[in-house]
């Protein structure tokens, strides 16, 4: 199936540019207490210590140096079974990091949130893209995103993070995700959020079985027909572990890279990854073999 061209070749992320002419790497920066390698340094309930903030900023700058062209910062886990956090706690986690990072890199910062209050504060602090796993379906999110004027990634999710993996069911997962995108795009446009500011993500692992995920990956090309960049997150996900006979999270790097390159082959423009350097290197070789020298 031929791939449809993108509506835009560069995304303006609040004044910082993200090129879409070739696949891009989005580095994941989780600012949740459970994401810290030194347990006990910060419980997440009190104000973030400045050393913790500085360490997160330094991790992000390392990802940029390794070739990430956008950093996705999140303060609430959306893993299956995770419990939501309150607005104040999420703000306390992400805003200090965004504020400091925005002053130290010309690369765009994405805020991974579904809360309108966090979207607003994050963009005011320097974020230039909203990554919403709820696709702006939370109260007030659509209106806030429309006003903020930055691009938004609309991700498909069946159910909600706490229970989404209990019994995911579809008549036709590819058709249903395509319908979801069509409806969300129309809703965004009606609310004053133009199509050109949207990115789409099928939401691997968000209310999907392994079979659903594989069908979506095989048919990713179909979603290019919206003319919008496709963002995919496959890094370290349970589908990789399942295909590797139950490999633990820390043993999913090579599988994640194989899946990411397959996604690019099927039309993905942005890869959301934990392991930036290996992903950049794999992508560089993949693109060179396709006749597109990245650097």
- In the complex, the residues that contact ligand 9MG under the rule CB under 6 A are 74, 78, 112, 131, 133, 153, 155, 201, 203-204, 231, 233, 272
132 forms bridges with which residues in the sheet? 154
Select 108 or 285, whichever has its Cβ closest to ligand 9MG. Answer: 108
- CA atoms of 129 and 123, how far apart (whole Å): 8
Give the residue numbers annotated as catalytic, written as ranges: 237, 272
CB of 272 to ligand 9MG, least distance (A): 5
CB of 131 to ligand 9MG, least distance (A): 5
Here the contacts of 115-118 (C-beta below 8 Å, separation 24 or greater) are 115/87, 115/90, 115/141, 116/140, 116/141, 116/143, 116/144, 116/145, 117/87, 117/91, 118/75, 118/87, 118/90, 118/91, 118/94
25 forms bridges with which residues in the sheet? 271
Beta pairing, strands 270-273 & 10-13: unpaired
Tokens of 77: 């886990």
Select 112 or 275, whichever has its Cβ closest to ligand 9MG. Answer: 112
26 forms bridges with which residues in the sheet? 70, 272
Instruction: End-to-end CA distance of the chain: give it in Å, rounded.
Output: 29
Select 126 or 203, whichever has its Cβ closest to ligand 9MG. Answer: 203
CB of 112 to ligand 9MG, least distance (A): 4
CB of 235 to ligand 9MG, least distance (A): 8
CB of 133 to ligand 9MG, least distance (A): 5
Select 56 or 272, whichever has its Cβ closest to ligand 9MG. Answer: 272
Select 28 or 64, whichever has its Cβ closest to ligand 9MG. Answer: 28
The helix (H) or strand (E) run that includes residue 285 is helix 276-289
The closest residue (CB) to ligand 9MG is 233
Cβ–Cβ < 8 Å for 181, 195: no
């Amino acid at each position: 199936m031929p791939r449809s061209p993108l509506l835009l070749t560069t995304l303006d992320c609040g004044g910082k540019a993200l090129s879409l002419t070739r696949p891009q790497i989005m580095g994941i920066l989780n600012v949740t207490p459970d994401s810290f390698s030194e347990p006990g340094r910060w419980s997440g309930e009190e104000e973030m210590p400045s050393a913790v903030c500085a360490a997160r900023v330094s991790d992000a700058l390392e990802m940029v140096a390794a070739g990430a062209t956008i950093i996705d910062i999140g303060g609430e886990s959306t893993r299956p079974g995770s419990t939501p956090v309150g607005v104040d706690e999420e703000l306390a986690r992400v805003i200090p990091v965004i504020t400091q990072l925005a002053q130290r890199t010309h690369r765009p910062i994405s805020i991974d949130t579904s809360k309108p209050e966090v979207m607003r504060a994050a963009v005011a602090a320097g974020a230039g893209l909203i990554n919403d796993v709820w696709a702006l379906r939370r109260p007030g999110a659509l209106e806030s995103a429309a006003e903020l004027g930055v691009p938004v990634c609309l991700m498909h999710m069946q159910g909600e993070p706490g229970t989404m993996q209990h019994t995911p069911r579809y008549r036709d997962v590819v058709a249903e995700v395509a319908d979801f995108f069509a409806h969300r795009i129309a809703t965004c446009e009606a609310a004053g959020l133009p199509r050109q500011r949207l990115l789409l993500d099928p939401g691997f692992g968000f209310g999907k079985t392994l079979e659903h995920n594989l069908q979506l990956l095989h048919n990713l090309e179909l979603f290019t027909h919206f003319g919008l960049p496709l963002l995919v997150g496959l890094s370290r996900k349970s589908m990789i572990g399942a295909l590797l006979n139950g490999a633990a999270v820390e043993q999913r790097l090579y599988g994640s890279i194989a899946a990411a390159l397959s996604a690019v082959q099927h039309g993905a423009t942005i890869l959301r990854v934990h392991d930036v350097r290996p992903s950049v290197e794999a992508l560089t070789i993949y693109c060179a073999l396709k006749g597109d020298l990245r650097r």
